[in-house]
Copies of this chain bind each other. A is one copy, B any other.
Amino acid sequence: MTEQQAHAPKPLRVAIVGLGTVGGGVIRLLETNAALLARRSGRPIEVVAISARDRAKDRGIDLSSYEWVDDMTRLVTRSDVDAVVELIGGSDGPALTLARQCLAAGKPFVTANKAMIAHHGLSLAAAAERAGVALKYEAAVAGGIPVIKGLREGAAANEISRVYGILNGTCNYILTTMEKAKDAGQPRDFADVLKDAQALGYAEADPSFDIDGVDAAHKLSILASLSFGTQLAFDHVDITGIRHVIAADIAEAAALGYRIRLVGMAENGPDGLFQRVHPMLVPLNHPLAHVDGSLNAVVAEGNFVGRLFFQGAGAGDGPTASAVVADLIDVARDEYGDAFAMPVASLIAAPKADTGARTGRSYLRFRVADRPGVLAEIAAATRDAGVSIESMIQRGTATADDSPDQRGVLVAIVTHAGAERCIADTLARLAGSDSLLDQPMVMHILD
C-alpha cells in the first residue's frame, strides 16, 4: 500500500434502487462529475450496487459495471453499502418497505419520493432520529432547486409566515402554453394543450396526479412542515387542479393584468395551518408571473429576511439527479441533521385553518345560458352572499361550430377583498340553477 493509498479517504458507497429516468440521471451524474464530487465531498461517491424491478429492461445506459441485486431489501444490511438511494416512487409498497428497513438498519436514506415523504415523512424521520442517520429528500420538492435546504437551513433564522410557489412543471407548461397561444391570437383550451404536452413528454399518459394538483399538494405539505415547524398534514391540503381552466380564463386574466398559475400556498396563522393548491391569478409584478414553461419556483416570506425567491428546473433527470447527489454530498460530508429541521417531537400538530375566514380578492367565472335574466341572477347571488364586486364582464362566445367548451355566455367577476366564505356562499346559492352550463370557476388573486 502506497502512502497515498494509506491516506486516501474512504469512499461513500451507495446502492441505487430504482433505475428509471431519475436513477439513470443519478448514475450519469456520479460518473460524469466523479472527480469534482470527490473534491467537494472530501471523498469519492461510489455506486456499489443497483437494483430495480426489471433487470432486462433497456434503459439506454450501460449498467454492466455495477453489481445488480434482485432483492433490494438485502442492500440495507450489506456492510459494503453506506447509504441507500430510493428512486422507485409510490407512497407505499416497496419504497416504504425499503425506507423503513434501511433506517432501522442504521443506514442513511436518500429519496426523491414526494408521495412517500408527504404521507410517511414523520415516521421515517423518527426512525432516522432513533438510528442517528440521515433521511434526505431534496429531490422530492421542486426538482433541482435546493429549496429543502433553503428552508431547513438558509431561512432557518426566520419565522416563516407564508410559503408558496409553482410546484408542478406539467401544469405550468400547460398554463404558459395556453398563455402563449392567446398572445399569438390563437387561443387553445386545456384539453388540446394537454394532448400536445403528452406527445412531447411534458405530461404523463395518466396525467391526473399532476393536473389535478395532487403532486403539487405532496410538495406543498413538505414545504409547510419545514417552514412552520408543524407536522406534515397532507390530508389537510385543499386541492383544485387546472382541468377546468379554459382559454377564456387566460384571456380575462391577461386583460385584468394577471397570469394564471397553479400555486401551492401555505400559511401559518393563529387559527391554524392553511394549505391550498389551486390556480391563482398572479399579478405581473410578482416574480411567479414570470415563471415560464416547466420551471418551478418557491417563495418564502420570513420575518427578518423578507421575501426569498428560488427558481429552477422542477423535474427532469438532470435537475432531479442534482438534488439527489446534493443529498449524498451532505451525507459524505457528514453535514446533516433532523429531516424536518427539528426533532419530530418538536413539530407542532397545527389544526387546519378555516378557509372561509380568509380574506382576499377573487376571480369567478361562469358559463351561462344566453338568455335574459341570467346576469341578474348571478348579481343577486353575489349581493345576497355579501360579495362586493369590483368588475363584472359578460362576453358572448357563441359561434356556429361551438365546441362544448365554448357554448353560451361567459360572465367573469373580480371581487373586492372579502371573506372567502362569501364566495362559497355565492356558489351555494347558484348551485342547481339551470342558468349555469357547467361548474363555476373560482380563482383567488395573489396579493
**Nearest-Cβ distance from residue A161 to partner chain B, whole angstroms:** 12
A308 CA to B290 CA in the complex, in Å?
Answer: 14
* The residue from B36, B39, B158, B290 contacting A290, defined by CB atoms under 8 A apart: B290
Chain B CB within 8 A of A430 CB: no
Chain B CB within 8 A of A191 CB: no
A342–B312 touching, CB < 8 Å: no
**Nearest-Cβ distance from residue A133 to partner chain B, whole angstroms:** 14
Q: A36-B229, A150-B150, A153-B146 are in contact. Are A306 and B311 (CB under 8 A)?
A: no
A37's closest neighbor in chain B, by CB? B157
* The residue from B39, B157, B329 contacting A346, defined by CB atoms under 8 A apart: B39
* The residue from B42, B158, B309, B322 contacting A304, defined by CB atoms under 8 A apart: B322
For residues 316 through 339 of chain A, which have their beta carbon under 8 Å from a beta carbon of chain B? Answer: 316, 318-319, 321-326, 328-330, 333-338
A37 CA to B158 CA in the complex, in Å?
Answer: 8
Chain B CB within 8 A of A303 CB: yes
Which B residues lie within 8 Å of A150 (CB)? 146, 149-150, 154
**Nearest-Cβ distance from residue A3 to partner chain B, whole angstroms:** 16
B154–A149 touching, CB < 8 Å: yes
Q: Mark A151-181, 1 if CB is under 8 A from B, else 0.
A: 0011111110000000000000000000000
Chain B CB within 8 A of A265 CB: no
Which B residues lie within 8 Å of A44 (CB)? none
B313–A310 touching, CB < 8 Å: no
A284's closest neighbor in chain B, by CB? B290
B308–A311 touching, CB < 8 Å: yes
Q: Mark A294-306, 1 if CB is under 8 A from B, else 0.
A: 0000000011111
Chain B CB within 8 A of A279 CB: no
A35's closest neighbor in chain B, by CB? B159
A309's closest neighbor in chain B, by CB? B311
Chain B CB within 8 A of A121 CB: no
* The residue from B229, B305, B321, B329 contacting A319, defined by CB atoms under 8 A apart: B305
Chain B CB within 8 A of A351 CB: no
**Nearest-Cβ distance from residue A430 to partner chain B, whole angstroms:** 39
Chain B CB within 8 A of A264 CB: no
B319–A304 touching, CB < 8 Å: yes
Q: A309-B311, A337-B333 are in contact. Are A326 and B155 (CB under 8 A)?
A: yes
* The residue from B155, B157, B308, B319 contacting A306, defined by CB atoms under 8 A apart: B319
B157–A329 touching, CB < 8 Å: yes
Chain B CB within 8 A of A287 CB: yes
B342–A42 touching, CB < 8 Å: yes
Chain B CB within 8 A of A130 CB: no
Which B residues lie within 8 Å of A149 (CB)? 146, 149-150, 153-154
Beyond A37-B157, A149-B153, A308-B310, 11 additional pairs, beta carbon < 8 A: A29-B304, A39-B342, A40-B341, A41-B156, A42-B342, A144-B302, A144-B308, A146-B308, A157-B325, A306-B316, A335-B335
Residue ranges of A at the interface with B (Cβ–Cβ < 8 Å): 25, 29, 32-33, 36-37, 39-42, 138, 144-146, 149-150, 153-159, 229, 287, 290, 302-313, 316, 318-319, 321-326, 328-330, 333-338, 341-343, 346
